[in-house]
Chains A and B, each alone.
Chain A
Amino acid sequence: MMNWMNIELILLILMPILTAVMLCFSSESNHKINITITLTSISLELYFITALLVSNFAAVKNASFFLQYTIGRAESPFVINFALDNLSLFFSLIVTAAVFLIVIFSVKYVEDRANQFFALFFLVLAAIQGSILTADLFTLYLFIEAITIFTTPLIAFKKNETTTRAALQYLFYGLIGGVFFFISIILIYFELGTLRMAEVAAAFVNIEPGMQLTIIIFFLLALLIKLGIFPIHFWLPRAHSACPAPISALLSGVLLKVYLYIFMRIFWTVISFTILSRFQLHHFILELALFSSLVGHLFALQSDNLKKMLAYSSIGHIGMILAVLLLNTKAAFYGAILHIIAHLLMKSALFLSTGYLLQTTLSYQISDLKGVGHKNRSVFVAFIIVCLATIGMPPLFGFVSKWYVLLAFLESQHYFGAFVVGAGSLIALIYYLRYISQAYLTFKGSETVSIWQENLSFKEFFSSFNAMKAVIYLFTFLIIFFGFSFKFFSMPIDTAIFELLNPQKYIDLVLGG
């Protein structure tokens, strides 16, 4: 009678919500209990998703993995269900792992109002998991709105004019995107009378072309606003640079990938890519995304604020990933998903180390960076390594993923794309070096200690060890490690690509089981 099958899918969403309620309820003074709740919950979350992977490893390997949980009356045709296939398992896993590390970092980083911070953080996590797992369009809309609403107070967490302004702008743009999303979902309901993704996917061809175009355009508007593609990208650098470092890492590293996942889910599973290409829209978006990538890198070049520079660079990378996805070849998906992992690791590491290095400086302006490289040498070395990976230096992870993206562009004979990848790397080299050299400028009269002298004394290295540093080193290690052993990802990426290219499997399994 009791259906305990696949209960993990629900727990992945309920755990963070319950944690948030508990954190809101507990007072701020018992800091230790709050931290314990936080760490236990995030560890359990990681455990659930890893357990799902390990226990179904054989199924994952031959791309037949599929789990489904139906909420409420399973016998009625109109229910919400959650589905986990290879693609969503992969995204859920990398997102949970990244959030796990970010939480460990922020336990030390956020001191005051920690329980409110973590309550909202866990609500964001719940909304992210929900939007990855859901197989229902309206629930997807709900979770996308929830992500926008929950992240806004976190952006305004520092409470000054800049952050409030950035949060206001972020909320306005996010809500406009949400309205567009709602319209297209309602249009789908009016046309097809259902909201389940699989049923919509099976019947979307039957809608007449004009209406299909309207639905697609509203979806595109919503998602392009959320992704920060060129004409509507003003909000992104402000929002991503105003918030505390862990939230920057969450927004830039994790959330943009979630929106990319939603983009894939909608335009490959729900609305099949052939319909998108029938209207020739994919060419237009491809060029737009490439242009956005170039614009992002150029704006990063002229920016004088370290965090703003990183956010603009995010626009550049996301534009590139979106463009390469829209090539719709196997090589393109491989490059795109590999770069999604790489960018997730690199941007999280960059924002976290920026937050750690610049704890004591007045602002993130380039002029305030003077001498930062001498204060925390080992962290700064890690920062430089991640920077080099972002630029695309071999043998780091960033190089491998960019190489595959480049190969995908060349294979499809899309030379403007290949040019943008190369030019982006060159521009990135200039702007990152600018900041690194600035950080190594010394104040007049400060004593000069050789970097080797300090770095090689392990005693000093371990005496100043803490969780924040550990997270940054771990990210750096992962970036170096996967640079050599990126083949590690080839199995999960291949199965995820299989999922993208065969939406029929998803439809059959949801409707049949």
Chain B
Amino acid sequence: MTGLLKKILIIVVLLFTTLALYLNFILMPEYQGLKTGVSNYIIQSALRDTGSLNLITAVLYDYRAFDSLGESTVIFGAVSGIVLILSRKMLPVSSKGLSFIVKRTLGIITPFIGLFGLYVISHGHLSPGGGFQGGVILAAISIIFSIVYGSAFDYRRYSPQKKTILETGGALTFLTIGLAGLFFEGAFLHNLNFLTAEPGTLLSAGSIPYINIGVGFKVGAGLAIIFYSMIQKTFEEDY
């Protein structure tokens, strides 16, 4: 009875909050960002400044590159925290994997998934995508290996040590490019203008493609490590 009362009370409170918030949000004017804000500046001059066709990438890795650095630090910290919590002392006890058909099919498809991931990473400044999105696709390969072929296969193919090296390497790439910006252009994380080529080509947009590659491998390896740490415990218990 008290449970029901509590439930009703919470629902009523939430409904009132909804109403209050709604009445307040009605006050919001139509979206002003383009007229008053600085985003108009970005739309007008981002292509000229950075050479990146994708304006979101220009914001992420040029104008607000420090946010992206902080963001990859957050992933780095989360991965080391997860590894700390689920410590990996034992070798994983592998499942047998799925049936022959699935194994064969994914054996054919997996290279294309990897290719697609690399495409998304390397074309981050030309088309939708970028380091984070492509990195997640790369992490999917490791997850597919663990599910379809058993986690021992994934362990042998890409050991956690390799993944850690990839992850740290990605983070260091980002930091190095930031410091290169300091040395060559005079400000930390400044885009490297001497690398800029004609917009629309693969190696244009200064240092953005290189940052994308670093972030992509970092995110991919990081997510793969997270997945690996999580399944390892469950298999140990199953056994």
Contact = CB atoms under 8 A, between A and B. Distances in A.
Q: Consider the complex of A and B and state whether they touch directly, i.e. have CB atoms less than 8 Å apart.
A: yes
Interface of A: 1-3, 7, 10, 14, 17-18, 20-21, 24-25, 69-74, 76-80, 113, 116-117, 119-120, 123, 126, 130, 138-139, 142-143, 145-146, 149-150, 152-154, 156-157, 159, 164, 189-194, 208, 210-211, 213-214
A95 to B, nearest CB: 18
A190 B25 CA distance: 12
A214 B23 CA distance: 11
B27 A73 contact: no
Given A80-B67, A189-B33, A149 B24 contact: no
A78 B42 contact: yes
A194 B37 contact: yes
Contact of B24 (A69, A76, A192, A213): A213
A78 B38 contact: yes
Contacts of A130: 70
Contacts of B191: 72-73
Interface in B122-181: 164, 168, 171-172, 175, 181
B230 interface: no
Nearest to A119: B80
Contact of B32 (A10, A78, A190, A210): A190
Given A72-B187, A116-B80, A211 B74 contact: no
Nearest to A126: B73
Contact of A10 (B38, B62, B188): B188
The 8 closest A-B pairs by CB, nearest first: A193-B37, A153-B81, A78-B38, A3-B186, A210-B27, A193-B36, A142-B70, A123-B77
18 contacts: A7-B182, A21-B175, A24-B76, A69-B188, A72-B191, A73-B49, A113-B84, A120-B80, A139-B67, A149-B77, A149-B81, A153-B82, A157-B84, A159-B85, A189-B33, A190-B32, A193-B36, A213-B24
B65 interface: yes
A190 B31 contact: yes
A14 B168 CA distance: 15
B16 to A, nearest CB: 14
B210 interface: no
Q: Which of B25, B37, B81, B183 has the most CB atoms of chain A within a 10 A radius of its CB?
A: B81
Given A2-B186, A72-B189, A190-B28, A153 B63 contact: no
B41 interface: yes
Contact of A156 (B45, B85, B168, B171): B85
Given A2-B182, A77-B41, A123-B73, 9 more contacts: A24-B168, A72-B66, A72-B181, A76-B49, A78-B42, A79-B63, A189-B37, A211-B24, A214-B24
Interface of B: 21, 24-25, 27-29, 31-33, 35-39, 41-42, 45, 49, 62-67, 70-71, 73-74, 76-78, 80-85, 87, 164, 168, 171-172, 175, 181-183, 186-191
Given A21-B76, A157-B84, A71 B189 contact: yes
Contacts of B171: 21
A461 B39 CA distance: 65
Chain B contact residues: helix, strand, loop or mixed: helix
A14 B175 contact: yes
B160 to A, nearest CB: 12
Contacts of A210: 24, 27
B63 A120 contact: no
A211 B33 CA distance: 16
Contact of B188 (A71, A146, A211): A71
Nearest to A116: B84
Contact of A3 (B29, B80, B82, B187): B187
B77 A120 contact: yes
Given A73-B49, A73-B187, A190-B28, A150 B70 contact: no
A213 B24 CA distance: 9
Nearest to B33: A193
Given A72-B190, A116-B83, A80 B36 contact: no
B80 A143 contact: no
Contacts of B76: 20-21, 24, 123
A210 B41 CA distance: 29
A77 B63 CA distance: 9
A214 B25 CA distance: 9
Contact of A78 (B27, B63, B73, B181): B63
B72 to A, nearest CB: 10
Contacts of A214: 21, 24-25
Contacts of A17: 73, 175
B187 A139 contact: no
Nearest to B69: A17
A473 to B, nearest CB: 31
Contact of B67 (A76, A138, A150): A138
A80 B190 CA distance: 11
B24 A71 contact: no
Contact of B71 (A80, A116, A142): A142
A323 B33 CA distance: 36
Contacts of A116: 80, 83-84
A144 to B, nearest CB: 11
B180 to A, nearest CB: 12
A242 to B, nearest CB: 13
A471 to B, nearest CB: 24
Nearest to A2: B186
B66 A139 contact: yes
Contacts of A189: 33, 37
A24 B164 contact: yes
Nearest to B172: A21
A143 to B, nearest CB: 7
A147 B188 CA distance: 23
A80 B186 contact: no
Contacts of A191: 28-29, 32
A71 B80 contact: no
Contact of A193 (B28, B32, B172): B32
Nearest to A213: B24
B70 A139 contact: yes
A71 B61 CA distance: 12
B24 A120 contact: no
A149 B74 contact: yes
Contacts of B181: 72
A211 B74 CA distance: 31
B33 A150 contact: no
Q: Which of A14, A72, A149 has the most CB atoms of chain B within a 10 A radius of its CB?
A: A72
Contacts of A119: 80
A117 B77 CA distance: 11
A120 B84 contact: yes
Contacts of B36: 192-193
A157 B87 CA distance: 11
Q: Which of B62, B85, B175 has the most CB atoms of chain A within a 10 A radius of its CB?
A: B85
Contacts of B42: 76, 78
